[in-house]
């Protein structure tokens, strides 16, 4: 991990706690001098852009690593269900970055980044629609609502982990259970 990666990871954790924290407070929280922080990242806007860029890169990499597009194309319920679990696991592995990106508004002022967000969201919505057709997710719910529910649960999981409400080792099953009990297709014979 480079010095800048370490700075960005620490800054993201601190920004999750307080999105209004100043660069001076960030440097102090990270354990570096202001001069060192400014040597790596000149402005708060540059910091937010780098955090968002890092998150977007990881988001796209998760899609690629789990084969999201290939799973979507198969239409196979077992493949789609396994890929859904992998998607949630990938997001949990980078929960601090995703949580911050989902709650800060700097990204919305960056047209290039928003176009990237739109592309990745469309990929996920196509995956959700395929999972609905295969009976993995509830067919009567709008795909966008399912996506929003997943991101809401991710934020809740991030906050629950930060507050110590549950152990990290339990987070994956907790997230999957909450998501699939609400958005998962009902088991035949039950309501």
Q: What's the token pair of residue 186? A: 């009902």
Q: Are residues 95 and 122 in the same domain?
A: yes
Q: Is 94 inside any structural domain?
A: yes
Q: Is 189 inside any structural domain?
A: no
The CA distance from 155 to 141, in Å, is 21
The pLDDT score that the predictor gives to residue 184 is: 79
Q: Is 171 inside any structural domain?
A: yes
Q: Are residues 113 and 166 in the same domain?
A: yes
pLDDT digits (tens, 9 = 90+) for 117-144: 899 999 999 999 999 999 999 999 999 9
For the cut 70, the answer to whether the pLDDT of residue 190 exceeds it is no
Mean pLDDT of 60-71: 97
Contact (Cβ atoms closer than 8 angstroms) between residue 103 and residue 78: no
Q: Are residues 121 and 172 in the same domain?
A: yes
- Which of residues 171 and 6 earns the better pLDDT score? 171
Q: Are residues 5 and 62 in the same domain?
A: no
Beta strand segments in the chain, E: none
Q: Are residues 124 and 178 in the same domain?
A: yes
Q: Which domain holds residue 56?
A: 51-183
Q: Is 191 inside any structural domain?
A: no
Q: Are residues 106 and 167 in the same domain?
A: yes
Q: What's the token pair of residue 157? A: 């999981």
Exposed, middle or buried by CB within 10 Å (0-12, 13-18, 19+), for 48?
Answer: buried
- Which of residues 187 and 136 earns the better pLDDT score? 136
pLDDT digits (tens, 9 = 90+) for 22-41: 899 989 988 889 899 899 89
Q: Are residues 26 and 73 in the same domain?
A: no
The pLDDT score that the predictor gives to residue 144 is: 96
Q: Are residues 68 and 144 in the same domain?
A: yes
Mean pLDDT of 151-173: 91
Q: CB-hemisphere CA count at 13 Å for 151?
A: 17
The pLDDT score that the predictor gives to residue 119 is: 95
């Amino acid at each position: 991990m480079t010095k800048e990666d370490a700075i960005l990871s620490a800054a993201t954790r601190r920004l999750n706690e307080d999105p209004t924290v100043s660069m001076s407070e960030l440097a102090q929280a990270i354990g570096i001098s202001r001069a060192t922080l400014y040597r790596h990242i000149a402005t708060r806007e540059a910091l937010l852009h780098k955090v968002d860029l890092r998150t977007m890169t990881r988001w796209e990499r998760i899609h690629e690593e789990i084969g999201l597009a290939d799973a979507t194309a198969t239409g196979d319920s077992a493949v789609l269900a396994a890929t859904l679990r992998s998607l949630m696991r990938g997001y949990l592995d980078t929960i601090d970055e995703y949580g911050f990106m989902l709650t800060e508004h700097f990204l919305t002022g960056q047209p290039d980044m928003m176009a990237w967000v739109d592309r990745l969201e469309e990929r996920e919505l196509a995956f959700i629609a395929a999972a609905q057709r295969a009976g993995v997710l509830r067919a009567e719910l709008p795909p966008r609502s399912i996506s929003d529910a997943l991101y809401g649960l991710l934020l809740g999981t991030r906050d629950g982990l930060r507050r110590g409400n549950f152990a990290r080792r339990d987070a994956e099953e907790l997230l999957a259970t909450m998501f699939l009990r609400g958005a998962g297709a009902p088991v035949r014979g039950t309501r």
